[in-house]
Structure 1
Amino acid sequence: MTKKVHDFNAIIRKLRKDLFGKGPERIHTVFVDNMVISTLYGNLTPTEKFIIGTPEGKEMIHMARTKMIQEVYLESPPDGLEEVIGAKFLHLFSDIKLEDDIAVSVFLFDRKID
């Protein structure tokens, strides 16, 4: 793992831990052109795992885990993110498959990532 990937993953893990009370247990990140694609494993807290046992709870947790994180990035990217990547952050696309506790985030930047 390169230093850039390691530093990027550390920023993502800290933000999600601060926001949701638990960061992902494992993150796999790749750079493709002007995108950073991260697959995040082991995201859910024990409470969230309990809540998704009902259809209403599943919808609530899915909404929180996708919309909430997108709104945070819409306000401004986390400290250090653009510096680590060396490009301006533009957009975040994110989703989570609750049954498997896997999330995918695609970060779009203004230029190709070296």
Structure 2
Amino acid sequence: MKKIEHQFSMLVREIRKEYVGNGPREITTRFVGSWAISEMKGNLTNVEKFMISSREGKRMVHKARTELVKKIYKNPEILAKFEELVGAKILRIFSDISIEEDIAMTIFVFDKPLDSKTT
């Protein structure tokens, strides 16, 4: 199972790098029941780090990041990559980022348990 969790993390990183411009510095994915929980550290670009020195900048970076991630995960081709990897359908995705801590979390909810997979 750790192998699939690692592959899931690498897929998240690859997609973030392609669509956001940089991938997270560190990423950990855990399967819990029908959830895949990905925690990403070191997400912000140098420009974003500069922008968050003001309250308005923090708001703008948070809004841009969360809206972009929502848009990315509406792409059926991207969803299919995750579904193929774990052998389950995605029902919904929750994502947020703590700008101050530079930690993002994405929770993928699938239609069946993932933690029973063995590799």
1:39-59 Cα deviation digits (max 9, x unpaired): 100000111100111111111
Separation in 2, partners of 1:47, 1:5: 31
Please list, as runs of the form range in 1=range in 2, the aligned pairs for 1:48-67 lying within 5 A after superposition: 48-67=48-67
Q: Counterpart of 2:108? A: 107
**What's the CA shift for 1:77?**
5.5
Q: Counterpart of 1:73? A: 73
**What's the CA shift for 1:90?**
1.7
Please list, as runs of the form range in 1=range in 2, the aligned pairs for 1:89-104 lying within 5 A after superposition: 89-104=90-105
Q: Counterpart of 1:45? A: 45
Q: Counterpart of 2:27? A: 27
Separation in 1, partners of 2:75, 2:14: 17
Separation in 1, partners of 2:109, 2:90: 6
- Identity fraction in percent: 44
**CA shift in 2, pair 1:62/1:77, >3 Å:** farther
1:70-91 Cα deviation digits (max 9, x unpaired): 1221232525211111101121
Once the two structures are overlaid, the 10-residue window that deviates more, 4-13 or 72-81, is 72-81
Aligned residues: 114
1:75-113 Cα deviation digits (max 9, x unpaired): 325252111111011211011111110011110111111
Q: Counterpart of 1:17? A: 17
Separation in 2, partners of 1:76, 1:50: 34
2:66 is matched by which residue type in structure 1? T
Please give the root-mean-square deviation of Cα atoms over the aligned residues, in Å: 1.4
Separation in 1, partners of 2:18, 2:75: 16
